[in-house]
Amino acid sequence: MGKPTGFLDYQRVENPAQEPLERIRHFEEFHPMLEEEERRRQGARCMNCGVPFCQSCVQLGGMFSGCPLHNLIPEWNDMIYRGNWAHALARLTKTASFPEFTGRVCPGLCMAACTCGANGEAVTVKENELALIEYGWENGLIQPRIPAVRTGKRVAVVGSGPSGLAAADLLNRRGHSVTVYERFDRVGGLLMYGIPNMKLDKKIVQRRVELMEREGVTFVTGVNVGVDLSAEELRRDYDAVVLCCGASQPRDLNAPGREAEGIHFAVEFLRKNTKSLLDSGLTDGQNISAAGLDVIVVGGGDTGNDCIGTCVRHGCKSVTALEMMPEPPEQRLPSNPWPQWPRVKKTDYGHEEAIAVFGHDPRRYQTTVKEFHADENGKLCAVTIVSLEPQRDEQTGRLRMVPVAGSEETLPCQLLLIAAGFLGAESYVADAFGVERNQRGNVQTRQGAHATNVEGVFTAGDMHRGQSLVVWGIAEGRACARETDEYLMGYTCL
């Protein structure tokens, strides 16, 4: 620990943000970095506590707390404080495949578990991580690491999201020849088309992809495995196959009038918007525009927030976000003590922007859609919503959210976005390879393992774990790479 009293001497200072009414004019990132002197002070706040919960990743109260990558956080915070950035970066990249991604989009499981947060404000771990990796890029410390020896083994990775990239990265460094197949026109999966540009600039994704290409990874885009390329061909041509296709089967809304035109899944909305932005700056007419429309977003979480921020940038007439569950508390409850993940209300960038534009929080809790209404042309024009209340099921004992009689309300709506989560992986890839799936629709493996029931076929990420975070996808990809390597070589040094 560089400064034993750092957590007492310095207050938490976060990266600044452009004002909401300014940043909604563009789709660029809007958090400039702190100056180096202030960043070093933020590193000094790390206490190097006896039990660093930040890097532990333990399950407490039904949720994980701490970094799934087990990043060596106290070590590189100490090095930041001392100004030894190169050493700090070396310790960070020992466990973290893509800090430039997690430093931008991770909710910060590490910070939720930070000991400073028990009685004050947590260390700015995520922002320190981002500052480190960007320092490395800017100062030429991130260079291709080309394997000196190739093993002669060939691995196909299906899907180029966080888990696919992480698995490909490690397997390539081990010396295997890795080819990554992506069904869309750009590499990155969720990172490219599931997260808006203002949250993760796509130049950052492309920068990493180009580095991996120089290191020897081959990327093949526009090929849909299971449709354009058969599972039999991949298994014949490669020594192992890693399936990292995500959990992209969206949960639908089954209400009268669902066939109305103007109802879209959030993943489709975000993907088309980002593709149009990258292809033409939103001038090609290929995106789903919210301009001048009354928008309703069904579902909270990061995806719902991203939809809100995107719609506000389009210039929507209004935006309302419906969340089925009760409004979370502003502060931790006694039943949710540190270092559990804090179950508190989170007002994210999209919410802030909607508040700035429309003067009120767009979220309505304990509310869902009861009916969709279409005009004479079949286009969505209004939505009837209904309030919900918790009710305990007498048989199972579980709480259910049930409609409140007489609470119906009709709102104008010409665009409705469904951000209600996912039901597992799309079936066609799993079916093509003949891998078993569990009741949640995810590919089945033994507990803690990544090998499927099919010889030489492995799985990782959301396809294996279910809908989750980017950091979990990376952790899954790294673990899967180790298991795949052991299968190929009889041992692993990853």
**What are residue 225's DSSP bridge partners?**
229
Asked, colleague to colleague, whether 6-138 and 154-248+423-489 share their fold, the answer is: no
Q: What is the pLDDT of residue 61?
A: 84
Model confidence pLDDT, tens digit, residues 287-315: 999 999 999 999 989 999 999 999 999 99
Give the model confidence (pLDDT) of 318-353 as tens digits: 999 999 999 999 999 999 999 999 999 999 999 999
Reply yes or no on domain 263-418 having CATH 3.50.50.60.
Answer: yes
Residue type, 109: L
Domains of the chain, residue spans: 6-138, 154-248+423-489, 263-418
CB atoms closer than 10 angstroms to residue 64: 21
* 431-477 tens-digit pLDDT: 999 999 999 999 999 999 999 999 999 999 999 999 999 999 999 99
Residues in the chain: 494
Chosen CATH of 154-248+423-489 out of 3.40.30.10, 3.30.230.70, 3.50.50.60, 3.40.50.620: 3.50.50.60
Q: Evaluate if residue 50 carries a pLDDT over 90.
A: no
Q: What percent of the chain has pLDDT over 90?
A: 93
Q: What is the pLDDT of residues 367-403, one digit of tens each?
A: 999 999 999 999 999 999 999 999 988 888 888 999 9
Q: Nearest-CA neighbor of 462 among 248, 176, 270, 267?
A: 248
Q: How far apart are CA 133 and CA 42, in angstroms?
A: 16
Contacts of 471 (CB under 8 A, 6+ apart): 67, 68, 69, 102, 106, 109, 162
Is the four-CA dihedral 24, 25, 27, 29 of positive or negative sign? negative
**In whole angstroms, what is the distance from residue 61 CA to residue 191 CA?**
29
pLDDT band at 196 (very low <50, low <70, confident <90, very high): very high
- Identify the weakest region by mean pLDDT among 48-57, 99-108, 120-129: 48-57
**Global pTM value:** 0.96
pLDDT at 60: 87
What is the percent of the chain where pLDDT is above 70? 100
Q: Determine the pLDDT at residue 161.
A: 98
Q: What is the pLDDT of residue 117?
A: 92
- Give the amino acid at 278: L
| CATH number of this structure's domain 6-138, picked from the four choices 1.10.1060.10, 3.30.1330.40, 3.40.50.11720, 1.20.1530.20 | 1.10.1060.10
Contact 246, 161 (CB under 8 A): yes
